[in-house]
Protein backbone atom coordinates (compact mmCIF):
# COMPACT_ATOMS: atom_id res chain seq x y z
CA UNK A 1 0.00 0.00 0.00
CA UNK A 2 1.29 3.48 -0.81
CA UNK A 3 2.01 5.98 1.91
CA UNK A 4 -0.96 8.31 2.63
CA UNK A 5 -0.85 11.66 0.84
CA UNK A 6 -0.77 13.62 4.09
CA UNK A 7 2.54 12.23 5.32
CA UNK A 8 5.45 14.65 5.65
CA UNK A 9 8.58 14.09 3.60
CA UNK A 10 11.52 13.04 5.79
CA UNK A 11 14.14 15.78 5.95
CA UNK A 12 11.74 18.47 4.66
CA UNK A 13 11.43 21.90 6.24
CA UNK A 14 7.86 20.96 7.15
CA UNK A 15 9.15 17.96 9.12
CA UNK A 16 11.54 20.25 11.01
CA UNK A 17 8.69 22.61 11.89
CA UNK A 18 6.48 19.75 13.04
CA UNK A 19 9.22 18.48 15.37
CA UNK A 20 9.16 21.87 17.13
CA UNK A 21 5.50 21.55 18.08
CA UNK A 22 4.67 20.45 21.61
CA UNK A 23 1.98 17.86 20.80
CA UNK A 24 0.81 17.78 24.42
CA UNK A 25 -0.40 21.38 24.02
CA UNK A 26 -2.33 20.79 20.80
CA UNK A 27 -6.10 21.16 20.96
CA UNK A 28 -8.16 18.03 20.31
CA UNK A 29 -10.86 19.93 18.40
CA UNK A 30 -10.49 22.96 16.16
CA UNK A 31 -13.54 24.79 14.82
CA UNK A 32 -13.40 27.39 12.07
CA UNK A 33 -16.15 29.70 10.85
CA UNK A 34 -15.64 30.16 7.14
CA UNK A 35 -16.18 33.87 6.70
CA UNK A 36 -14.69 36.64 4.62
CA UNK A 37 -14.22 34.94 1.24
CA UNK A 38 -16.36 37.57 -0.49
CA UNK A 39 -14.47 40.40 1.23
CA UNK A 40 -11.16 38.74 0.28
CA UNK A 41 -12.23 38.72 -3.37
CA UNK A 42 -13.54 42.29 -3.18
CA UNK A 43 -10.20 43.59 -1.89
CA UNK A 44 -8.60 42.02 -4.94
CA UNK A 45 -11.27 43.38 -7.29
CA UNK A 46 -12.42 39.83 -8.06
CA UNK A 47 -15.98 38.46 -8.18
CA UNK A 48 -17.24 37.07 -4.86
CA UNK A 49 -17.29 33.60 -6.40
CA UNK A 50 -13.49 33.71 -6.77
CA UNK A 51 -13.29 34.29 -3.04
CA UNK A 52 -15.34 31.15 -2.47
CA UNK A 53 -13.07 29.19 -4.82
CA UNK A 54 -10.06 30.39 -2.82
CA UNK A 55 -11.91 29.27 0.31
CA UNK A 56 -12.15 25.74 -1.10
CA UNK A 57 -8.36 25.69 -1.53
CA UNK A 58 -7.98 26.90 2.04
CA UNK A 59 -10.24 24.05 3.22
CA UNK A 60 -8.02 21.44 1.58
CA UNK A 61 -4.89 22.95 3.17
CA UNK A 62 -6.64 23.20 6.54
CA UNK A 63 -7.78 19.57 6.54
CA UNK A 64 -4.31 18.38 5.52
CA UNK A 65 -2.60 20.52 8.16
CA UNK A 66 -5.00 19.47 10.91
CA UNK A 67 -4.40 15.81 10.07
CA UNK A 68 -0.63 16.29 10.01
CA UNK A 69 -0.77 17.98 13.41
CA UNK A 70 -2.79 15.18 14.94
CA UNK A 71 -5.95 17.21 15.53
CA UNK A 72 -8.69 14.71 16.41
CA UNK A 73 -11.67 16.79 15.21
CA UNK A 74 -11.85 19.63 12.70
CA UNK A 75 -15.17 21.45 12.31
CA UNK A 76 -15.79 23.90 9.49
CA UNK A 77 -18.88 26.08 9.79
CA UNK A 78 -19.45 26.41 6.05
CA UNK A 79 -23.04 27.39 5.24
CA UNK A 80 -25.43 28.75 7.85
CA UNK A 81 -29.16 29.21 7.46
CA UNK A 82 -28.42 32.95 7.16
CA UNK A 83 -26.50 32.22 3.94
CA UNK A 84 -29.80 31.51 2.14
CA UNK A 85 -30.22 35.30 2.03
CA UNK A 86 -27.37 35.54 -0.49
CA UNK A 87 -28.16 35.93 -4.18
CA UNK A 88 -29.52 32.74 -5.72
CA UNK A 89 -26.57 32.35 -8.11
CA UNK A 90 -24.08 32.66 -5.24
CA UNK A 91 -25.89 29.96 -3.24
CA UNK A 92 -25.99 27.72 -6.32
CA UNK A 93 -22.25 28.24 -6.83
CA UNK A 94 -21.49 27.49 -3.18
CA UNK A 95 -23.43 24.21 -3.36
CA UNK A 96 -21.64 23.25 -6.56
CA UNK A 97 -18.26 24.07 -5.02
CA UNK A 98 -19.16 21.82 -2.09
CA UNK A 99 -20.04 18.94 -4.42
CA UNK A 100 -16.91 19.50 -6.50
CA UNK A 101 -14.72 19.57 -3.37
CA UNK A 102 -16.15 16.33 -2.03
CA UNK A 103 -15.88 14.50 -5.34
CA UNK A 104 -12.29 15.64 -5.81
CA UNK A 105 -11.09 15.13 -2.23
CA UNK A 106 -12.97 12.06 -1.00
CA UNK A 107 -10.15 9.71 -2.05
CA UNK A 108 -7.66 11.77 0.00
CA UNK A 109 -9.96 11.59 3.03
CA UNK A 110 -10.29 7.83 2.68
CA UNK A 111 -6.56 7.29 2.06
CA UNK A 112 -5.76 9.28 5.18
CA UNK A 113 -8.31 7.63 7.46
CA UNK A 114 -10.40 10.80 7.88
CA UNK A 115 -14.11 10.41 8.62
CA UNK A 116 -16.49 12.97 7.22
CA UNK A 117 -19.40 14.03 9.40
CA UNK A 118 -22.08 16.57 8.48
CA UNK A 119 -23.76 18.86 11.01
CA UNK A 120 -26.92 20.89 10.62
CA UNK A 121 -30.06 20.37 8.59
CA UNK A 122 -28.11 19.16 5.59
CA UNK A 123 -30.79 16.71 4.47
CA UNK A 124 -32.90 19.75 3.56
CA UNK A 125 -30.38 20.80 0.88
CA UNK A 126 -30.82 20.11 -2.84
CA UNK A 127 -31.08 16.34 -3.50
CA UNK A 128 -27.90 16.40 -5.60
CA UNK A 129 -25.98 17.89 -2.67
CA UNK A 130 -27.51 15.40 -0.23
CA UNK A 131 -26.55 12.50 -2.52
CA UNK A 132 -22.95 13.72 -2.74
CA UNK A 133 -22.78 14.17 1.04
CA UNK A 134 -24.23 10.70 1.66
CA UNK A 135 -21.68 9.18 -0.69
CA UNK A 136 -18.86 10.94 1.16
CA UNK A 137 -20.22 9.84 4.53
CA UNK A 138 -20.45 6.23 3.38
CA UNK A 139 -16.97 6.15 1.86
CA UNK A 140 -15.30 7.69 4.93
CA UNK A 141 -17.34 5.91 7.63
CA UNK A 142 -14.37 3.82 8.74
CA UNK A 143 -12.02 6.79 9.23
CA UNK A 144 -10.27 6.80 12.61
CA UNK A 145 -7.43 9.33 12.25
CA UNK A 146 -9.54 12.48 12.35
CA UNK A 147 -13.19 13.52 12.21
CA UNK A 148 -13.87 16.24 9.66
CA UNK A 149 -17.17 17.98 10.44
CA UNK A 150 -18.79 20.29 7.93
CA UNK A 151 -21.69 22.36 9.28
CA UNK A 152 -24.25 23.02 6.55
CA UNK A 153 -27.64 24.70 6.77
CA UNK A 154 -27.07 25.22 10.48
CA UNK A 155 -27.87 27.73 13.16
CA UNK A 156 -27.61 27.72 16.91
CA UNK A 157 -31.35 28.32 17.27
CA UNK A 158 -32.21 25.44 14.95
CA UNK A 159 -29.89 23.17 16.90
CA UNK A 160 -31.72 24.07 20.12
CA UNK A 161 -35.11 23.50 18.47
CA UNK A 162 -33.98 20.11 17.13
CA UNK A 163 -32.62 19.11 20.55
CA UNK A 164 -35.88 20.10 22.27
CA UNK A 165 -37.90 18.16 19.71
CA UNK A 166 -35.73 15.11 20.35
CA UNK A 167 -36.18 15.45 24.10
CA UNK A 168 -39.95 15.82 23.74
CA UNK A 169 -40.08 12.79 21.44
CA UNK A 170 -38.11 10.81 24.01
CA UNK A 171 -40.30 12.10 26.87
CA UNK A 172 -42.47 8.98 26.79
CA UNK A 173 -39.46 6.97 27.94
CA UNK A 174 -38.12 9.67 30.24
CA UNK A 175 -40.18 12.03 32.42
CA UNK A 176 -39.90 15.76 31.82
CA UNK A 177 -38.09 16.27 35.11
CA UNK A 178 -35.19 14.26 33.64
CA UNK A 179 -34.56 17.11 31.20
CA UNK A 180 -31.57 18.97 32.58
CA UNK A 181 -28.41 20.56 31.20
CA UNK A 182 -26.81 17.15 30.61
CA UNK A 183 -29.84 15.86 28.69
CA UNK A 184 -29.87 18.97 26.51
CA UNK A 185 -26.13 18.68 25.91
CA UNK A 186 -26.59 15.04 24.86
CA UNK A 187 -29.37 16.01 22.46
CA UNK A 188 -27.35 18.76 20.76
Residue 113's alpha-carbon distances to 16, 25, 137, 148, 150, in angstroms, are: 24, 23, 12, 10, 16
Q: For this structure, is 35 an active site residue? A: yes
Residues in the chain: 188
Residue 6's alpha-carbon distances to 70, 108, 128, in angstroms, are: 11, 8, 29
Residue 114 contacts residue 60 (beta carbons within 8 Å): no
**Nearest C-alpha neighbor of 138 from the set 102, 186, 104:** 102
Give Cβ neighbours of residue 175 (< 8 Å, ≥ 6 apart): none
Single out the catalytic residue among 22, 37, 83, 153. Answer: 83
Q: For this structure, is 83 an active site residue? A: yes
C-alpha radius of gyration, the chain, whole number: 19
Active site residues: 35, 83
Amino acid sequence: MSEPALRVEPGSSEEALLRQIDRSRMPRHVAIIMDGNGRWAGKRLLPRIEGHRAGVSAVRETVESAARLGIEVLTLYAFSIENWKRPRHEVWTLMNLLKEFLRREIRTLVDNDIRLHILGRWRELDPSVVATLEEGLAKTAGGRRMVFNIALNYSGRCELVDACRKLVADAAASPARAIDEAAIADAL
